Amino acid sequence: MDVKRKGLFLLSISDSEYFNDSQGKIELVGCPQLGEDCKKHISQINKSFLSSDRFWRDKDYPQAIDELKSAFYTSNKFMDTSCTSCLELFHATIIRSLENIHQDLYRMSTGLFSRKRYQSSYELATGVLEEFKKAT
């Protein structure tokens, strides 16, 4: 959280101001095939990313993983019709986000202060991550 000082009081910024939910995770800047097919699907992929980020902040890890899985398979739907460089970018971004969730779950499910309630989510993230890496 970013904190602003105003006089003697500290004012903190709310989550909605700190996390920019109006901006998509993936923005199309340049595409070898002019991005026509990519633009059609990028909004749906960004919606799944936004939902996943919200679930991740709320520590609803299974839902966050499901949203990333949805984004991954949405990007696969247009693999034959779109350029492969955009698809690789989408997959890399989705996998990176899932790896971040996986690392959080690993830290919470192992060690001295581990919590067993996150163990099933950690195993789910591990399985989905392996599934993604086989598919790419």
pLDDT tens, residue by residue, 57-112: 999 999 999 999 999 988 887 655 557 777 888 889 899 999 999 999 998 888 77
Distance CA 88, CA 107 (A): 28
Quote the pTM value. 0.75
Give me the mean pLDDT over the 8-14 stretch: 47
How far, in Å, are 29, 49, 83 from residue 98 at the CA level? Answer: 23, 11, 23
Distance CA 75, CA 83 (A): 11
- The 3 state secondary structure assigned to 20-77 is CCCCCCCCCCCCCCCCHHHHHHHHHHHHHHHHHHHHHHCCCHHHHHHHHHHHHHHHHH
Q: What is the model's pLDDT at position 12?
A: 45
Tokens of 127: 């399985």
pLDDT level of residue 34 (50, 70, 90 thresholds): low
Domain ranges of the chain: 3-135
